Amino acid sequence: MTYGEKADFYIPNNESLPLNINDLSNWYKNLLSEISQGSYTNEELTLLKDKHNYYGKYFNEGTREFFLNHFAKNLKKAINYFFGNNKSQVRFLEIGSGCGNQLLLTAFLGAEVVGCDIKKEVCDLVKKRKEFYEKISKRKLNISLICEDVFKIDWDTFPKFDAVNFLFSFNDIQPNQKMLELVNQLLKPGGRAVFQETNQSNYYNRLFRKRDSMTLQQVAKNLKKYKFKISSLRGGYALPPIFWRFLPSNILSPLDHFLSASLFLSPSYQLMAEKV
């Protein structure tokens, strides 16, 4: 653990692997200290705290336990999966990288990191956050940013990746089929992809939040066509935020884990696949 001058910061390194849920909880606590110490504009703080941005659920105390059960739990699984094959050398790409929390975390763990997002304002914020964390940790972070449409990039000029991550960005990148073709192109043999996304097979989403995107079953079927092995496919969570506001997490966590095995009950899913 490394400490900032005015507040404690949890700074992991390669020896922190495999991560546990307490590591992720400590990592997200950095956000609270960061916004008090970082010299961010109101517009930048709005990006971080936006309730439609998943970090917003962490800044809201009423949804923080839900956030840790959903996002932190599944990010822990994804990170450990990415680093499971080769702990020392991981080329990591996140498509739809947003405000950069996953980029920063994987860079601290020793990965060579590339983030791709079409929105200039979030790319600028990631650059500023990178400088902030380099200053408090006294470490250089190997993070490159591409602020462009993912389909307009000449990916042939890049070395192949060990890891490709989507955190609620895959459904928005249309056509999904073209994106899966690109994932196959980007990953080296043995490379791994993780999709965490809204589950179109969930009963509520079928009725009230129907989207023109692939179902998780279609994503899995298409990945298999490209000779990917599905390592894991399960729901991201089952119990909604209101439960986590009033009941203790030590009771809810095992129940939620049991219920989220059902893709019918889970509003989100996490799919992990390895290129054979």
DSSP of 109-167 = TT-EEEEE-S-HHHHHHHHHHHHHHHHHHT----EEEE-S-GGGS-GGGSPPEEEEEEE
Residue type, 263: L
Rounded to a whole number of angstroms, the distance between the first and last alpha carbons of the chain is 37
pLDDT band with cut points at 50, 70 and 90 for residue 204: confident
pTM of the model: 0.93
Q: What percent of the chain has pLDDT over 90?
A: 83
Residue type, 219: V
CATH no. for 2-275: 3.40.50.150
Encoded tokens for 113: 């990191």
pLDDT tens digits for 21-33?
Answer: 999 999 999 999 9
- pLDDT reading at 1 higher than 60: no
Where exactly are the structural domains of the chain? Answer: 2-275
pLDDT tens digits for 93-148?
Answer: 999 999 999 999 999 999 999 999 999 999 999 999 999 999 999 999 999 999 99
Q: What is the mean pLDDT of the segment spanning 157-178?
A: 96
pLDDT tens digits for 75-100?
Answer: 999 999 999 866 678 999 999 999 99
Contact 199, 216 (CB under 8 A): yes
